[in-house]
Amino acid sequence: MPTATKDSSEAFQIAIFTCAFVAGGLALITLVLAFFMRPSAAGEVATAEDEYKKLSALLQNQDMKVLRDQAKLTEGKELNLTLKDILYEKKKDIPGIDFKSLPDTKPVMAPGIEIVRLRVELLPAAMTPILHFMATVKEAKKTIQVEQVRFEKDRRSKNDDSWVGTIHFVDYVTK
C-alpha cells in the first residue's frame, strides 16, 4: 500500500530531474548561441583559413624545400669536433669514467656520408656514470649513435657497482 511520503518523494524527484534537464538544455542552447552564432566568428575563421593557405604555400615553395634539404645535410656539422674529441671532452666532465686510449680511426666513405666507428673499452666504473657518459656523448652531436654495448661485472673489484664494458660509437657525418 503506497504511503503519502513515498508518493510525494517520487513526485519531488521527478520535479528535480525535470528542472535539471530543462536547465541543462537551456545551458546548451546558450553555449551554442554564444560560441557558434557570433557574427565575428565567420570573419575570424575566414582569416585563419587565409593564413593557413599562405603558410602552406610558403612551406611548399621550392626555395623552402631546398632550405630544408640543406639543413638536413648540415645537421651533423654544427659541431666541428670529431667523435674522439667529444669522447675525451665528456670523459673530463663525468667523474669516475675512464677508458683505455682510443685507437686512431679511419672513416669509411659511403655515398654522401662519412662513417666513423670507435670502440671504447671502459675501465671499472659505477653503472650510473657509464650510462650518463653514453647519454652525454649522444647528446653532444646529433649524428652520433651507440651501435653496441656490452657490460659485465668487474670480477677483481669488491664493489657491487663496479662494471667494465665496451661501447661501440658511430658518427654518421654527411659530406
Q: Are residues 169 and 99 in the same domain?
A: yes
- Asked if residue 23 has pLDDT above 60, the reply is yes
- Asked if residue 5 has pLDDT above 90, the reply is no
- Asked if residue 98 has pLDDT above 60, the reply is yes
Q: Are residues 103 and 131 in the same domain?
A: yes
Mean pLDDT calculated for residue range 10-22:
88
Q: Are residues 154 and 94 in the same domain?
A: yes
Calculate what percentage of the chain has a pLDDT beyond 70. 90
pLDDT tens readout for residues 49-67: 999 899 888 888 888 888 8
Q: Could you tell me the residue range of the domain that residue 27 belongs to?
A: 4-70
As for how many domains the chain has, the answer is 2
Q: Are residues 59 and 83 in the same domain?
A: no
Q: Are residues 88 and 153 in the same domain?
A: yes
- Asked if residue 158 has pLDDT above 60, the reply is yes
- Asked if residue 153 has pLDDT above 60, the reply is yes
Q: Are residues 50 and 16 in the same domain?
A: yes
Q: What is the 3-state secondary structure (H, E, C) of the chain?
A: CCCHHHHHHHHHHHHHHHHHHHHHHHHHHHHHHHHHCCHHHHHHHHHHHHHHHHHHHHHHCHHHHHHHHHHHHCHHHCCCCCHHHHHHHHHHHCCCCCECCCCCCCCEEECCEEEEEEEEEEEEECHHHHHHHHHHHHHHCCCEEEEEEEEEECCCCCCCCCEEEEEEEEEEEEC
Q: What is the pLDDT of residue 112?
A: 79
pTM beyond 0.85, yes or no: no
Q: Are residues 125 and 63 in the same domain?
A: no
Q: Are residues 66 and 83 in the same domain?
A: no
Q: What is the pLDDT of residue 7?
A: 64
> Higher pLDDT residue, 81 or 129?
129
CATH value at residue 91:
3.30.70.60
How much is the mean pLDDT over the chain? 84
